[in-house]
Structures are given as C-alpha cells and as structure tokens.
C-alpha cells in the first residue's frame, strides 16, 4: 500500500505529522486497521534523539506492533538505580519487585536506530511515509477535510490530523495551547561516552540516577560500549552560566561517582543542551485534530516516561480515531475519553516528578519502606505499570504523604547535599 496513492486527488483518512515513536505507532496501528494513512516527517531518518531508556510496561505494545524481535538487539534494562554523588549510598529498584504483574525488563536504546525501527514498521504496515517533508500550514476551513500545506508548495488533505510533531507541537504552538510548567523550569546538558565503567551481567543495563546539589544526572549504558550521560537541574542554578562543554566537564569533575565511572572514558558526541522544556497543552484534541506524545505534553526525563507516554498514547489515539472514522464523527467530543486518560496519566507522573525535586522526597526514595508495599508500588510506577490501578494509586498517595511528613519530622536520614541546595526546594 505504501506509496500507492495519487495525492493530487486522494483525501487520506488520517495524516500524521511527525515520525517519532508516537507518530510511527499511531500510523502503524491505523494502517493495520485498513485506513489510508499518510505520515509526514520533516527530517531524514536515522537522526539523533535523546531519551534512550524504555519502560517495561511498553513492551507488550511493541509485541502488538510486531517489532519486539527487532528490539532484542538493544541492551536489556532490569532496574533503575538511585545513587548519591559520592557513590556511598545507592538504592536499586528492580522491576521484578513491583506489585503489578507484567514484563520485568525493557531496553536501553539508541534512539536513531530505535525510531527507525518504528518508522519502517509503519511503512510495512501500510502507511505512506514521507521523510524530509515539512508541514507549513493546516487549514480547517472545509467541513469534510483538513488541507495541509507542505514546504515547496505541495498540498495534501486528510479527514483527520494527528499531531505527533514532538516538542515543536505544530497545533498547540500555533493555537496558543501550551502551558509551561514553571515549577519544572529546568535545563539539561548531555552527551555520549565510550569506555565508561559499567556493571556486569543483569545489572549492566541499569539506568543510574545520580543525586547532586544542582539536580541529578542520568547514566544510561547503551550497547557497543556507549553510555549516555546528562545533567538536569533548575535553570536558576546556572547563575547566568552557559551549559556548554566546559560547564558539563566541570560538573562531571565535581561529582565523585561520575568521575570514577568516566575516568577511562572519552566523549564521542557533541555536548547538547535543552532548557525550559516542561509543559502540557490545555487541550489534547479538537475538531478533526488530536495531539499525541511530546506534542501534547512533556514532563521531565527523570523517570523515562517520554517514549512510554508517546507509544501508549498513540495506541489510545489510534483506537479513538478508528472509532471516530467508522462513525463519521470527528468532532472533539469523539476524543473525550482519550483526553481524560491522557490528562490523568500525565497528572500522575507530573505530581511524582514535582515531588522528586523536593529533598525530602529523594530521601524517602533512598530509604524506601516495605511497609504497606510502598517500595513495591513505587517500583511499579517506575516500570510504568499501575497508573490506573487502585492498588498502586493509594500506595503512591501514602508514599507522597510520607515524603511530605519527612520534610518536618526527619523520618529518614537526611541527604546533606540535597538539603544544602535551596535551588531544589519550593
């Protein structure tokens, strides 16, 4: 089917803007159900992208997409480790210890390759995939279709548009729907290394989250001896400095745990930075349009939820669009259930992330309790399981109450480096 349509006369059932995990997943699902799907991606794949750590809860979705076997080339991930800057204290949350049944491992992936796997699968599933094509304008003036202008003068049309354009968020930005999260006004600076020290065996693929006064580091082992390393923290902690290569290397040198792991490593990629990136759209859908993935919301990289929210959201979005197309009703009301689910899910993780940046929260994470299975519930949430299950929800509510109480009554040992940094409080 791919490439078989005459776009001069054809009105596609759905046009999808963006070929990342959310867009490719939605395209594959709708094409598998017999819909005429056009996916428009402005870049040429493979291309670099950050966000290499997947969650176990997403693995069944990749099975349904038919790409699970292709993911076995990547490094397995069985746990998340939280560690202090000096390496003296660490806590490992093994996904097998959660209270929700399901997959107990995921993968650490090279996003350029991983995203290409999903994009190629969309084409194999029957979607028409065009790369190097940029959408410049969407017109909703006609009652029966959306007209889509492309750079260079071409135009296509579709009954429905799914915006999966990532943090650029074509529809949300042009309609003024994006609301920045000023409580998460952070920056991230990151790069890749070869030769970094890593664990062996089942622990080799563990993601390490390193607590430092200015925020936290991710350390993500990838295959072929490559390691992704990045620092995230409040933008005001920069105090006017530019988060460039010099700043990046300075902060590594001032973090004993990282200094040791990278002692024999060499940087093999540019130092990149992004800032002020946490946001949510006021609306996730409208008449003949719907937002999915980062085009709808982006929270924070700390719990690796980006690909999970993108792919799980794409499944639900595709289901909603499939039903709407069948009924011939593409008004916003047809996507109300999808909007409710996404807002609830984003809210759950956003509350948890906001807690993470409070020192009393990190202290409880580093000294978890098995009482009431609180540690196990947190483990399930870290795996992406149970955001809609009462057994997890009430335990997370209790966990958050414990962290708030810890601020006043010192229920756990204090983490001096975090407590001394007022940048993380409030």
**45-87 per-position pLDDT tens digit:** 999 988 999 999 999 999 999 999 999 999 999 999 999 999 9
How far is Cα 177 from Cα 179, in angstroms, rounded to an integer?
A: 7
In the chain, domain spans? 11-50+110-179+279-345, 78-107+182-275, 347-424
Q: Give, in order, the Cα–Cα distances in Å from 312 to each of 39, 217, 240, 345, 348.
A: 18, 26, 38, 10, 15
Q: Tell the CATH topology of 11-50+110-179+279-345.
A: FAD/NAD(P)-binding domain (3.50.50)
How far is Cα 299 from Cα 314, in angstroms, rounded to an integer?
A: 17
How high is the pLDDT of residue 3? 38
**Residue 252 and residue 259 in contact, taking contact as beta carbons nearer than 8 Å:** yes
- What are the tens digits of pLDDT across the range 260-281? 999 999 999 999 998 867 899 9
Mean pLDDT of 189-214: 95
CATH architecture of residue range(s) 78-107+182-275? 2-Layer Sandwich (3.30)
Check whether 250 has a pLDDT greater than 60. yes
Q: Which candidate, 87, 76, 14, 52, places its Cα nearest to that of 259?
A: 87
**Residue 40 and residue 133 in contact, taking contact as beta carbons nearer than 8 Å:** yes
Mean pLDDT of 111-135: 97
How far is Cα 147 from Cα 26, in angstroms, rounded to an integer?
A: 20
**Sheet-wide strand order for 279-281:** 178-180, 279-281, 297-298
Provide the whole-model pTM.
0.92
Between 353 and 124, the more confident residue is 124
How high is the pLDDT of residue 6? 45
CB atoms inside a 10 Å sphere around CB 189: 22
Between 7 and 144, the more confident residue is 144
Q: Which candidate, 337, 81, 120, 109, places its Cα nearest to that of 208?
A: 81
Q: Give, in order, the Cα–Cα distances in Å from 251 to each of 13, 50, 243, 287, 354.
A: 50, 20, 10, 48, 23
Check whether 123 has a pLDDT greater than 70. yes
Sheet strands (E) in 45-114:
75-77, 79-84, 90-94, 106-108
Check whether 7 has a pLDDT greater than 70. no
How high is the pLDDT of residue 419? 59
Q: Which candidate, 214, 143, 158, 170, places its Cα nearest to that of 42?
A: 170
Residues in the chain: 426
pLDDT, mean over the chain: 92
Identify the helix (H) or strand (E) that includes residue 320: helix 306-327
Query: What's the N-to-C CA distance of the chain in angstroms?
Result: 54
How far is Cα 383 from Cα 100, in angstroms, rounded to an integer?
A: 9
Q: How confident is the model at residue 1 (pLDDT cuts 50, 70, 90)?
A: very low
How far is Cα 52 from Cα 103, in angstroms, rounded to an integer?
A: 18
Mean pLDDT of 14-35: 97
Q: What 3-state DSSP class applies to 180?
A: strand
Q: How confident is the model at residue 9 (pLDDT cuts 50, 70, 90)?
A: low
Check whether 414 has a pLDDT greater than 80. yes
Check whether 8 has a pLDDT greater than 70. no
How far is Cα 382 from Cα 349, in angstroms, rounded to an integer?
A: 10
**Long-range CB contacts (within 8 A, 24+) of 371-376:** 372/398, 373/99, 374/398, 374/399, 374/402, 375/93, 375/97, 376/97, 376/98, 376/99
């Amino acid at each position: 089917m791919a490439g078989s349509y005459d776009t001069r006369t054809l009105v596609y059932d759905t046009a999808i803007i963006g070929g990342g995990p959310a867009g490719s997943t939605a395209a594959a699902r709708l094409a598998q159900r017999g819909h005429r799907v056009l996916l428009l991606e402005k870049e040429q794949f493979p291309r670099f992208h950050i966000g290499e750590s997947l969650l176990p809860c997403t693995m069944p979705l990749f099975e349904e997409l038919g790409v699970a076997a292709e993911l076995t080339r990547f490094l397995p991930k069985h746990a998340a480790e939280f560690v202090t800057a000096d390496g003296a204290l660490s806590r490992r949350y093994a996904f097998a210890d959660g209270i929700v049944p399901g997959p107990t491992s995921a993968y650490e992936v090279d996003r350029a390759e991983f995203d290409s796997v999903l994009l190629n699968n969309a084409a194999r599933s029957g979607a028409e995939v065009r790369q190097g094509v940029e959408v410049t304008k969407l017109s909703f003036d006609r009652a029966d279709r959306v007209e889509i202008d492309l750079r260079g003068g071409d135009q296509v049309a579709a009954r429905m548009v799914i915006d999966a354009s990532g943090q650029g968020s074509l529809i949300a930005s042009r309609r003024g729907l994006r609301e920045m999260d000023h409580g998460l006004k952070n920056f991230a600076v990151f790069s890749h290394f070869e030769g970094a020290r890593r664990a062996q065996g089942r622990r080799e693929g563990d993601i390490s989250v390193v607590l430092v006064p200015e925020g936290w580091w991710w350390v993500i082992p990838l295959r072929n001896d490559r390691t992704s390393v990045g620092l995230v923290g409040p933008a005001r902690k920069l105090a006017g400095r530019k988060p460039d290569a010099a700043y990046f290397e300075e902060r590594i040198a001032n973090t004993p745990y990282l200094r040791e792991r990278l002692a024999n490593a060499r940087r093999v990629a540019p130092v990149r930075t992004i800032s002020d990136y946490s946001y949510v759209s006021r609306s996730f859908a409208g008449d003949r349009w719907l937002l999915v993935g980062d085009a709808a919301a982006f929270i924070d990289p700390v719990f690796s939820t980006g690909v999970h929210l993108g792919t799980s959201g794409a499944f639900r979005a595709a289901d909603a669009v499939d039903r709407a197309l069948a009924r011939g009703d593409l008004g916003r009301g047809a996507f109300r259930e999808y909007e409710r689910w996404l807002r609830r899910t984003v809210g759950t993780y956003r509350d948890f992330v906001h807690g993470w940046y409070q020192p009393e929260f990190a202290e409880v994470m580093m000294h978890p309790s098995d009482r009431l299975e609180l540690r196990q519930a947190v483990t399930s949430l870290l795996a992406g399981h149970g955001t809609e299950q009462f057994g997890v929800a009430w335990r997370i509510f209790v966990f958050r109450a414990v962290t708030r109480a810890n601020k006043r009554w010192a229920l756990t040992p204090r983490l001096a480096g975090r407590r001394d940094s007022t940048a993380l409080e409030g």
